[in-house]
Amino acid sequence: MASVTRKPQANRQERREQIERLLLDATERLMADGASFTELSVDRLATEAGISRASFYVYFEDKGDLLRRLAGQVFDDLAAAAERWWRVSGRRDPADVLAAMTALVATYRHHQPLLVALNEMAGYDAAVGATYREILAAIATRLAAVINARQDDGFIRRELSAQTAATSLTWMVERTCQQTLPGTPESGDGELAATLTQIIWGALYLEAP
C-alpha cells in the first residue's frame, strides 16, 4: 500500500517542478521584453507558460509564492556554479575559482529578469525578502564549510572567521552582479569574473595566484 501512495505524491512533485520551470521561463521571457514583475498578472503568466489559471492556483498561493519558489530554482543554479570551485577547493588552483565566478556571472546574467523581480518585491514583501536572505545565508553556510576545511589544511588564512568571511563574500558577489550586470554588455562579463576571482583569492588564500 505504501508504494501505491508514494507514486501519486511523486507524480505531483514532478508536475510541480515542471510547472515551476515553465513559469520560470515564462517570467523571464516576459521581463526580458520589458514587463515588470509587479505588472504581470497571473493570467498573463499562466498563458505565457502554457498552463491554465486553475493549474497555477493548484500549486501557488499567489505571485509572491511563485517568486519565492522560483528564487529557490535560480539560487540552486548559482550554487551549482559555485561548486566548480567548492568541490575541488583542496587543489588550491585559482583557475577553479575563475571557473566558478565565470559560471556565476553567466547564471546571474541568464536569470537577470527574475533576480531584478526578487529585488523589487523583497523591498515590500516580507516573505520574499526573508526567502531571499535565507537562500543567500544557505549559500554562505556552504562556503563557510569550504573555508573551514581549507583552514584545517593550512591553505586559507586561519585568522579569518569562516562564517563572516563567507557571508561577506557571498553578498559581495550578489550585490556586484545585481548592480553592474543590468544594462551592461555581456562582453564585460569575463573581466568581472576575473576581478571577483582576484578579490576572493586575495581575501582567503595564503599564496598569490
Q: Which of 108, 115, 117 is nearest to 35 (CA)?
A: 117
User: Are 53 and 132 in a shared domain?
Assistant: no
Q: What is the pLDDT of residues 7-19, one digit of tens each?
A: 666 687 888 888 8
- How far, CA to CA in Å, does 7 sit from each of 12, 15, 16? 9, 12, 14
3-state DSSP helix/strand/coil % of the chain, to nearest 5: 80, 0, 20
Query: Which stretch, 75-84, 124-133, 193-202, has highest mean pLDDT?
Result: 193-202
Q: Both 169 and 79 in a single domain?
A: yes
- The predicted pLDDT at position 119 comes to 81
Helix (H, G, I), strand (E, B) or coil at 90: helix
- Per-residue pLDDT, averaged over 78-107, amounts to 95
- Give me the torsion for CA of 133, 83, 189, 177, rounded to 10°: 10
Domain stop point among 60, 77, 93:
60
Q: Do both 111 and 47 map to the same domain? A: no
Under DSSP, is residue 205 helix (H, G, I), strand (E, B) or coil? strand
pLDDT exceeds 80 at position 90: yes
Which pLDDT tens digit goes with each residue over 124-181? 888 888 888 998 999 999 999 999 999 999 999 999 999 999 999 999 999 999 999 9
Enter the C-alpha cell of residue 16.
510541480
Assess whether 80 and 175 both reside in one domain: yes
Read off the pLDDT band of 189 (50, 70, 90).
Answer: very high
- pLDDT score, position 209: 58
Q: Which of 31, 60, 89 is the last residue of a domain?
A: 60
Tens digit of each residue's pLDDT (9 = 90 or more) over 42-61: 999 999 999 999 989 988 88
Q: How many domains would you assign to the chain?
A: 2
Q: Where do we find the cell 568571511?
A: 165
109 to 11, 30, 198: CA distances (angstroms): 32, 15, 20
What pLDDT is recorded for position 117? 82
∠ CA 15-20-22, rounded to 5°: 95
Same domain? 80 vs 110? yes
Question: What DSSP string describes 143-195?
Answer: HHHHHHHHHHHT-B-TTS-HHHHHHHHHHHHHHHHHHHSTTS-GGGHHHHHHH
Instruction: Quote the crossing angle between the two packed helices 126-153 and 112-122, to the nearest 10°.
Output: 120
* pTM (2 d.p.): 0.81
Farthest CA pair distance, the chain: 60
What is the C-alpha separation between 74 and 91, in angstroms, rounded? 28
Q: What is the pLDDT of residue 99?
A: 97
Where in the sequence is the domain holding 73, given as residue range(s)? 63-209
Provide the sign of the torsion angle of the four alpha carbons 14, 125, 30, 106, taken in this order: negative
CATH number at residue 122: 1.10.357.10
Position 36 scores a pLDDT of: 83
Q: What is the CATH number of the domain that holds 25?
A: 1.10.10.60
In a shared domain, residues 90 and 13: no
